Amino acid sequence: MLRSRRARVCLGVVAGLAVLALAGPVVFVQARAADHMYTADDVPATPVALVFGARVYEDGTPSQFLRARLDLAAELYAAGSVEVLLVTGDGRPDHHDEPAAMSRYLVEQGVPETAIVQDPAGFDTYDSCVRADEVYGVRELTVVTQSFHLARAVTTCRSVGIEAVGVGDTSVKSRRTTWAKTTVRDQLAAMKTVVDLVTDRQPLLGPPDDAVPKALANSPTP
List, for residues 1-39, the tens digit of each pLDDT value: 545 555 544 444 443 334 444 566 778 888 889 999 999
Which of 6-10, 81-85, 144-148 is predicted with the least confidence, judged by mean pLDDT? 6-10
Strand partners, 52: 88
Can you give the pLDDT at residue 14? 41
Task: Reduce the DSSP state of residue 168 to 3 states and report it.
Answer: strand
Using pLDDT thresholds of 50, 70 and 90, give the confidence band for residue 93.
Answer: confident
Using pLDDT thresholds of 50, 70 and 90, give the confidence band for residue 160.
Answer: very high
Which of 11-20, 75-84, 169-178, 180-189 is predicted with the least confidence, judged by mean pLDDT? 11-20
Q: What strands lie across the sheet with 140-146, from one edge to the other? A: 37-38, 163-169, 140-146, 48-52, 84-88, 116-119
Can you give the pLDDT at residue 217? 94
Task: Reduce the DSSP state of residue 22 to 3 states and report it.
Answer: helix
| Average model confidence (pLDDT) across the chain | 87
Contact between residue 49 and residue 82 where contact means Cβ atoms under 8 Å apart: yes
- If residue 148 lies in a helix (H) or strand (E), which one and from where to where? helix 147-159
Nearest residue to 168 (alpha-carbon basis) of 184, 190, 145, 189 = 145
Using pLDDT thresholds of 50, 70 and 90, give the confidence band for residue 64.
Answer: very high
pTM to 2 decimal places: 0.86
Q: Would you say residue 51 has pLDDT above 70? A: yes
Contact between residue 168 and residue 146 where contact means Cβ atoms under 8 Å apart: yes
Segment 194-203 shows an average pLDDT of: 92
